[in-house]
Amino acid sequence: HRRRGPAAMAVLLEHESQIFLDLFHQDGLVICARGLGIDRLLLRFLRLYCEPASLVLVLNTSPAEEEYFIDQLRSDGVVHLPRRVTNEITNNTRYEFYTQGGVIFATSRILVVDFLTDRIPANLITGILVYKAHRIIESCQEAFILRLYRQKNKQGFIKAFTDNAVAFNTGFCHVERVMRNLFVRKLYLWPRFHIAVNSFLEKHKPEVVEIHVSMTPAMLAIQTSILDILNACLRELKRYNPALEVEDLSLENAIGKPFDKTIRHYLDPLWHQLGAKTKSLVQDLKILRTLLLYLTQYDCVTFLNLLESLKASEKAFGENSGWLFLDSSTSMFVNARARVYRIADEKLNQKGKVSEKSDVKKENELKRELVLESNPKWEALREVLKEIENENKNSEDLGGPGQVLICASDDRACAQLREYIIAGAEAFLTRLYNKTFGKDEKAGEVWITDRKAIKSKGNSRPDTGPQAKKAKLMASSKQNKHKKQQDRTIIQMMGKTEEEKREELEVEDNKELSSSQESSIEETIPEDFPMNLPSDCYYGIFKNPLTIIHPLQGCSDPYALTRVLHEVEPRYVVLYDAELTFVRQLEIYKASRPGKPLVYFLIYGGSTEEQRYLTALRKEKEAFEKLIREKASMVIPEEREGRDETNLDLIRDAKPASVSTDTRKAGGQEQKNVQQTVIVDMREFRSELPSLIHRRGIDIDPVTLEVGDYILTPDICVERKSISDLIGSLNNGRLYTQCISMSRYYKRPILLIEFDPNKSFSLIPRGSLHQEISSNDVTSKLTLLTLHFPKLRILWCPSPHATAELFEELKQNHPQPDAETAMAVTADSEILPESDKYNPGPQDFLLKMPGINAKNCRALMNHVKSIAELATLSKDELSKILGNAANATQLFEFIHLTYGEAVSKGKSKR
């Protein structure tokens, strides 16, 4: 049976067909608002070119996205599906692979090499589609591919797509630079407020019920405290670094998601110059933002656990984490604890003097009364689900009960919601509490019996029986399952990758769930039911009508949610967390269906969560307004598309205009101009250097090299290391072996250390230079390397641009390297440069002998055939050859002295 979802997706909406036609008739860059279906647009183009008659390359897609596009096209009944070029397809069959036509997804590294070696029929390419075009900066691989393509093919099209308008906000004339690298003249902007989009979506508005949930007083108090502290940290940060007085680092932005990137953008270039105070402030900001997220996202127990672990690891922070001692921080701790428990004998505590307090405390540990405040949003969700249930009961006229899709931010939130809906707030929070602060089961049980008494008075939900029974069961089944979580310091908790956290949680949650479900939930609901859905991230709740929870982020497949939406076709969508892209997707989905998804939109009124959503909206709107202004004032040259020879970006010559021409023609002789070439190792095409070398008018010969990365001349061999590579290969000894083989086969081995232009141009932080040489110090290791290999030269380059320029200068007036010879050099080959008429093995052995050094080694080898012959020479002959009596004595004694003689000689010396 054919899936309905994607087929329905195929129908383009009014504004989408307009974008499609615009771009189809004239190449350009489309910048579209988040969630307005840039993927549907690309799909439409893919479907157009999926036939053997055309050859279209798609750049910048990830494997998951390729999978999604191929799936969608398959379900649309496309015969000639897109194919992927991977390194499994051998070099000699690749040309035929391309000539079969159709749409081809290929990694940029393979494409660059294929363009350079003419393995791809450049003149037959119909065109190139570039996805995520905001990433195309001048030195990246994709820009290199487009440049090579335009040099060889003037007819084909280039169409670029992106939905990230905010990315064009940074830097000066960013969008113009990107368009220049893409070789396109037209810029198509489609914001959400575009008149066509707006009027169309207004007509097909989904019904939205906005529920502004108010936070509990404790939550509000905590939020205020965190914001106060955040503000204080930001002020402090700016006081230490006046350069950071920028509007990007405001409190409003500090609560948004991209803040980490922003602060890195400002601090990375000077990271090595920052003091410990600044670094710890940056770390504090990260922690505070995590706290803010936890507050609205998860329950009170999880939040308190994170807070307590902060307090516990205060020592690990050292004294510089000042925010823990602010008043706001105290109020935050008090409120966070008040949400979970309250201490029973409060009166006694107030009267007790300080000395008593410490004794009282131990008793009080046992006398906690659990409060376990439920999340207001949970209650709202429960109400919404009830309402949906009631509507489903009398839904005969709509054709049976409707399906429900609940969207929460990430896996952890989804798992929590699922357990909350199945087990109820009390049982769930009790289990969590016992798991995290497991000392107090007794308190837990007392609390449950009390609650039962209250419940019977009827101020709670009617389903008390199983709830309380189950809660009790959970408490008892938990007694032997304590997890010591407090010992984990905050650094460890935050250092864990999101993946690990998620896996851990899932494992724990499933264990806990299954153990508690064996007895009580079994009759109502199975553990989890398999559904044949196109995503593996969902959490099922009810089978009939189908109700599932799906995370908004963190899936391995970026289109998981889209697939689920079109597969399940829910009548009700509950947005537990607001996310811009998905809200827009829902609008589009509604417009392409006559049906009615009823959207429930839950948000904490007056919270940072709401502010975050509004900021994201405003940021995108501002970005588009800026783009519209830029577009109005943009001057685009006629030859921008590079379809004739006049585009200067296609000219491969990096001589600046200021270079004066040489007028001395040496008696009018003809100047021979040799085409410069550099031999580059295949693996180097991951870096941006080859594209910059090529830009300078030097030809590139990509081959697989065993020794070196770049061969500039027959004598010069370069091994390129980025900083991380350098440290890694110094530690595992790879660099040593690479230097041995380079010095053996080339006269001028060079180690090139290349820095990232966005980071600091320094190997080690200022002030951490050691007096003595130590084995774990990078500079010490480099020093040892230069001592070992006297021929090795080290180049320090602040950026790839500088490297390319250096390479050009190093090549001047030297012969060109030969690819065959370079490939023939392997780490153990016997073919040596002609200058070396000696065997490398005995030569290394000779150099290790006392009295022989790099200077006199040659002279000795010229006079003596073999080591055997060396052993027959007398001391006088040796001193004649070596030219130094002391060295000769050392060597002679090393060869002729027996062990006994040497020992006795050593003794007599004493």
Question: ∠ CA(193), CA(194), CA(198), 5° rounding?
Answer: 65
Question: Nearest to residue 571, comparing CAs of 591, 547, 596?
Answer: 596
Residue with tokens 């009823």: 598
Q: What angle do CA 164, 170, 176 make, to 5 degrees?
A: 75
| The pLDDT value given to residue 228 | 92
Return the structure tokens found at 822.
């370079």
Instruction: Assess whether pLDDT exceeds 60 at residue 50.
Output: yes
What does DSSP say about strands 677-681 and 710-711: parallel, antiparallel, or unpaired? antiparallel
* pLDDT recorded at residue 1: 41
Judged against a pLDDT cut of 90, whether residue 750 lies above it is answered with: yes
Query: pTM of the full predicted structure?
Result: 0.77
CA distance 244 to 237: 8
Compare 817 and 536 and report the one with higher pLDDT: 817
710-714 average pLDDT score: 92
Q: Which residues contact 751 (CB under 8 A, 6 or more apart)?
A: 718, 719, 721, 735, 739, 785, 792, 793, 794, 795
pLDDT at residue 507, as a whole number: 38
CA distances from 726 to 308, 314, 734, 746 (A): 40, 35, 10, 21
Query: Which residue did the predictor score with more confidence, 645 or 465?
Result: 645
Per the model's pLDDT, the better-predicted residue between 330 and 533 turns out to be 330
Q: Is residue 455 pLDDT above 70, yes or no?
A: no
CA–CA dist 704, 173 (Å, integer):
39
Q: In the prediction, which pLDDT does 664 show? A: 62
Burial of 1 (0-12, 13-18, 19+ CB in 10 A): exposed
Q: Which residue has the higher pLDDT, 187 or 840?
A: 187
Q: What pLDDT shows up at residue 768?
A: 62
Identify the pLDDT of residue 766.
Answer: 61
The pLDDT assigned to 751 comes to 94
- Residue 145's pLDDT band, with cuts at 50, 70 and 90, is very high
Per-residue model confidence (pLDDT) at position 565: 86
- pLDDT-derived band of residue 129, with 50, 70 and 90 as boundaries? very high
pLDDT surpassing 50 at residue 554: yes
Written as one string, the DSSP assignment of 611-678 is: HHHHHHHHHHHHHHHHHHHHHHH----GGGG-SSTT-GGG------TTPPPP---TTTPPPP-PPPEE
pLDDT at 709: 92
Q: How far apart are CA 588 and CA 566, in angstroms?
A: 11
Read off the DSSP letter of residue 214. Answer: P
Residue type, 844: D
What mean pLDDT is reported for the chain?
A: 78
User: What letter represents residue 114's amino acid?
Assistant: D
Other CB atoms within a 10 A radius of the CB of residue 251 amount to 14
Q: Measure the CA–CA gap between 15 and 195, rounded to whole angstroms.
A: 10
Percent of the chain at pLDDT > 90 equals: 18
Q: What percent of the chain has pLDDT over 70?
A: 79
Phi, psi at residue 209, to the nearest 5°? -105, 110
Residue 670 confidence class, pLDDT cut points 50, 70, 90: low
Report whether pLDDT(448) > 80: no
- Provide the pLDDT for residue 773: 63
pLDDT value at position 487?
38
pLDDT tier, 681 (very low <50, low <70, confident <90, very high otherwise): very high
Residue 526 pLDDT > 70, yes or no? no
Instruction: List the single range of 168-172, 174-178, 284-288, 404-408 with lowest mean pLDDT.
Output: 168-172
The pLDDT of residue 527 is above 70 = no
| pLDDT surpassing 70 at residue 498 | no
Distances (CA, A) of 379 to 340, 371, 383: 17, 16, 6
Predicted confidence (pLDDT) at residue 680 exceeds the cutoff of 90: yes
Residue 84, helix vs strand vs coil = strand
Residue 446, both tokens: 């007392």
* Both structure tokens of 537: 């991230």
Instruction: Out of 233-247, 485-499, 520-534, give the one with best mean pLDDT.
Output: 233-247
Q: Contact, 392 vs 545, CB < 8 A?
A: yes
The secondary structure of residue 816, as a DSSP letter, is: P
Per-residue pLDDT at 825: 79
Reference 253, options 830, 244, 23, 61; nearest CA is 244
pLDDT of 224 higher than 90:
yes
Contacts 24+ apart (CB under 8 A), 565-568: 565/405, 565/589, 566/5, 566/6, 566/8, 566/9, 567/3, 567/5, 567/533, 567/534, 568/403, 568/405, 568/533
Mean per-residue pLDDT, 322-332: 84
Distance CA 580, CA 57 (A): 31
pLDDT value of residue 733: 86
- Amino acid symbol at 268: D
Answer yes or no: is pLDDT of 832 > 60: no
| pLDDT confidence of residue 620 | 92
The length of the chain in residues reads 910
Type and span of the H or E element at 59: strand 55-59
C-alpha to C-alpha distance for 768 and 622, rounded to whole angstroms: 44
